[in-house]
Structure 1
Amino acid sequence: MAESPDRYQIRITLTMKLNALRDFLAVAERGGVRAAARHLGLAQPAISRSIAELEKELGAALFERHAKGVQLTPVGQAFLRRATAIHHEIQRAHDEAGQLRGAVNGRVTLGMSTAPHLELFPDVLPAFRARFPDIHLEVVDGVYPLVEGALLDGSMDFYVGPAPARVPGELRVEKLFDNTRVILGRKGHPLAQAKSLRELADAHWITTSITHKAEEELGPLFEKHGLPAPKLAMRAQSALTFLTALPSSDLLMMLPVQWLRYPLLRDTFQEIKVREKLPAPPVCIVQRTGLPLTPAAEHYCTLLRRAAGHIRKR
């Protein structure tokens, strides 16, 4: 049965729009029409026409043309965020359709901080791989501020880690479990028998950019208990730095309790058990509001909730 003219026109228009978005993203990413055409395997005039039609429809220029290439205008920068989100959502829809038909391939991209890496990942990964062995799983290490942009533009499915203080309206937060911290030093640390933060007032501390606002939380904790500001002697940019620094020095760190619970690290550090409570932000899932995850990504979150349930009971 032949397509009706109206349905045919809708299909052609949709194809043209998606191609225009593809061309726009290629020019923005490659910095010029020539490079975009080479990347896409299309003729330069076709790319130029596509961008011109898109600009005409939007009523604004998306690029400033220069001798060495193009640069996004303010409107182009705003449109880039929308176009990127649409591009990722189309890919997500493609993956979802295949997974609903029984396919087990596609991609899941998530951000994950240290605590869920140590506490949840060892249980979740084997179960996820058993259900979706051919899914390409991309895990981005980091705390929420580093991945917010990726969540908003759709390049990341969800984030697992300390609850952020606030999120944009396009995102929603689901708590998995409450968390706490411990103070760690090397085995045989001279302050190993300390019972309070006051006894640690003269200690030197490591902070790290991979924990959640380390400086902002260690300082107020000391202030809350009427102590002078802690002596911050080192800032580590990676876990490797403090994993080697702690066992070979008298430096201390305040870290999520998962560092002490993880089997490979349990015998590496000495916990200094102070009487003061050392709260940590709850671990949560952050994902976009109103946009469903693919079956594979949703299954990963289901496994996270299940593992978190065991933690809450414990």
Structure 2
Amino acid sequence: MTLKLSQIRDVVAIADGGSLRAAAQNLGLAQPALTRSIREVEHDLGVELFERLPRGMRLTPAGEVFVRRMRSIQAELQRSRDEIDQLKGLTIGQLTIGLSMASTIALLSGALAPFKARYPGVKLKIVEGLFPGLRRQIADGDLDFYVGPVAEVPLPREFVLEQLFTNERLVLGRVGHPMAHASSLAELADASWIGSALTEHREDELGLVFSTRGLPPPRVEVETSSALSTMMVAANSDLLAMLPRQYLRHPGAVDLLMPIPIRERLAAPAICLVRRAALPLPPAAEFFTDLIRRTAVHEARTRAE
């Protein structure tokens, strides 16, 4: 089977628009031409990519797999164009990166200004999240790279992992928390907690911290999937959160959250840079990762002092 770039464009456009009509309007094509294009692809593949509904079209399971791969091809083509332009000295294109909250707070400010000075025409798109949620986007090429905690190592060979610095967690609660003077994890045995997800095993993450110290499992009453929701729940309740120490430097946390001064040192997964192994980064992305590395060295030295 030989796919045309126009056919890839057509399939993705229908998946995005949800109907032939919407896709035809977005592409500036006649609906019959678009219909022929899709039927040719389906004939060559031997499967239906779309379920025809009374109002619109919906991807079949085979269509979902196909479209995900086609998006990767489109992203690689655009990345190739950007890379060639950047090699020619043009400062254009797009860089899409995944950052955790901790890496955003610790590293973004040191990299952003020099990057925009060197590549003023490159659009920077930042996707906030943790590795489990962004893993597929990295693998598919939707993200150029990810910077943040990685709890489950080693990673599959499709990824390249580079550790930037080790990290620590703090127990955080609202200002004026009734357990503000606790000095050990054991004194927090009756506390209620907020759970987050650094790995695919959300329910085990807090429990492991307690079990390794011979303590009963914590009572997790709220589970969150974003840094902002974690901070807001902690700031507006008596629930505690165990978060990377960088969260206290978030402007929104200064007047809302405080560390509980327990004596235990709580290791956090290291902050790492993760990219795909198969292809090198474009010049703009490579420049940004270099800035991230330099800022990480400064962050590690500051913590050591």
TM-score by length of 2: 0.85
Superposed counterparts of 1:31-50, under 5 Å: 31-50=18-37
Residues 1:160 and 2:175 aligned together: no
The 1:164/1:270 distance shift into structure 2, 3 A limit, reads: closer
The 1:63/1:188 distance shift into structure 2, 3 A limit, reads: closer
2:285 to 277, 287, 297: 297
Residues 1:184 and 2:172 aligned together: yes
Partner residue, 1:7: none
The 1:260/1:27 distance shift into structure 2, 3 A limit, reads: closer
Partner residue, 1:102: 89
The 1:191/1:37 distance shift into structure 2, 3 A limit, reads: closer
Aligned-partner residue type, residue 197 of structure 1: L
1:229 to 210, 217, 223: 217
Instruction: Report SS of the residue matched to 1:232.
Output: strand
Give the fraction of aligned pairs with identical amino acids, expressed as a percent. 46
How big is each residue's C-alpha offset from its partner over 1:1-46, in whole Å with a ceiling of 9 and x where there is no partner?
xxxxxxxxxxxxx9x7111111121122223333322211012222
The 1:27/1:247 distance shift into structure 2, 3 A limit, reads: closer
Is this contact kept in 2: 1:113–1:210, CA < 8 A?
no
Between the aligned partners of 1:290 and 1:235, the Cα distance in structure 2 is 35
Is this contact kept in 1: 2:50–2:63, CA < 8 A?
yes
Instruction: Report SS of the residue matched to 2:190.
Output: coil
Instruction: Report SS of the residue matched to 1:120.
Output: helix
Partner residue, 2:269: 281
The 1:242/1:53 distance shift into structure 2, 3 A limit, reads: closer
Task: Tell me the CA shift for residue 120 of structure 1.
Answer: 0.7
Partner residue, 1:151: 138
Task: Tell me the CA shift for residue 169 of structure 1.
Answer: 4.1
How big is each residue's C-alpha offset from its partner over 1:136-182, in whole Å with a ceiling of 9 and x where there is no partner?
11111111122222223322211111114264543332221111111
Partner residue, 2:190: 202
The 1:247/1:145 distance shift into structure 2, 3 A limit, reads: closer
Instruction: Report SS of the residue matched to 1:89.
Output: helix
Partner residue, 2:259: 271
Instruction: Report SS of the residue matched to 2:74.
Output: helix
How big is each residue's C-alpha offset from its partner over 1:73-131, in whole Å with a ceiling of 9 and x where there is no partner?
44333221221110011111111111111221211111111110111112111221221
Between the aligned partners of 2:192 and 2:59, the Cα distance in structure 1 is 47
Unpaired segments ≥5 residues, structure 2: none
1:306 to 279, 283, 294: 294
Unpaired segments ≥5 residues, structure 1: 1-13
Cα RMSD, aligned residues only? 3.0
Instruction: Report SS of the residue matched to 2:148.
Output: strand
Between the aligned partners of 1:65 and 1:192, the Cα distance in structure 2 is 59
